[in-house]
Amino acid sequence: MLDHRLEPEHEELRRTVREFARDVIAPKIGEFYEQEEFPYEIVREMGRMGLFGLPFPEEYGGMGGDYFTLGLVLEELARVDSSVAITLEAAVSLGAMPIHLFGTEEQKRTWLPKLCSGEMLGAFGLTEPEGGSDAGATRTTARYDRETDEWVINGTKCFITNSGTDITGLVTVTALTPSDEDSGKTSPTRSISSIIVPTGTPGFTVSKKYSKVGWNASDTRELSFTDCRVPAANLLGAPGRGYAQFLRILDEGRIAIAALATGLAQGCVDESVRYSAERHAFGRPIGANQAIQFKVADMEMRAHLARLAWYHAASKMVAGEPFKKEAAIAKLYSSEAAVDNAREATQIHGGYGFMNEFPVARFWRDCKILEIGEGTSEVQRMLISRELGMPS
């Protein structure tokens, strides 16, 4: 019998994070958001709570949890604010997870303890100006210099989260490398590899922050590499395995984004229920009107189904079962539910929903990127159809 009730330890964690989001994040985040400032103190407190180390082994400074645990936390954070939630999601699933999954023992011991504590943030440099949904169209290159035993990287990455904060310590970059680079032969054939580039490496330039529609309290930058040299030992996994690596990272990350989107969708319900009880028109609360009740009921339905979708995908992943289709379904449905709920919540709030001092205004600005990042809605539909065996 399928049972989606949480274990006591999961329920306790969710309650703790919900209280943290309500009592610590909610009173402060609006000011950070409007000033487009990164909330360092909030991030430090999240680090002290162990949130950045949730799915990693204790031997590397983690909490020994799993991806489902991370999803629970992301949902609760996003019920209040998505900038904070995406900072955690990107730091864990994009910054630290590649090192955990594909790194050498030395790489894990060098980087994971600081990443798990939140003392340092990691980023994942995949997207390029001409390679978004077509992630295989990578143009960044890395050549091996035998004389110095180094990789020499040239190229540009864009829309990279957590890449330019004061506590960013590394970016894992995907780059084209000769497919037989390890053999010392020359070949016109090139494949994608992943390479760890520490912050501050000469030739690694971090551009100024983007001016964004939403997620304004998170850090997003363009990165450029000009003859940027890193030790050969910074190669992450085997040469030429970068494409397979980031496909796995994106599959897992879609579950995390689905949990975040579910949180935003639920936050829209929370704010709408509260506002419709407080706001009076024509002598009674607007929540007494059936039109408002039906809107809120539909919003709750979407949030509930989104939660079931990401729970199901996460449970398959944690069990070691194939989950690509379920992750795509969860990401697709929850992101569209978030957009729908944000639109309806703004409508329920009327003119106040257009004022940035109200949380739903942030939700409206933050929701659209959920249908784009970590695979657009169109890409998710492609993945689902392929998993069903549709002709390619």
Query: Token pair for residue 102?
Result: 């594909």
**Helix 242-278 crosses helix 324-349 at what angle (to 10 degrees)?**
30
CA 284 to chain centre: 41
- 130 is a catalytic site residue: no
Catalytic residue selected from 181, 271, 374, 378: 374
Torsion on CA atoms 206, 208, 214, 217, rounded to nearest 10:
80
Report the alpha-carbon distance of residue 63 to residue 54 in Å, rounded.
Answer: 5
Residue of 41, 64, 50 lying closest to 17 (CA atoms): 50
β-pair type (190-198, 168-178): antiparallel
- Residues designated as active site: 374
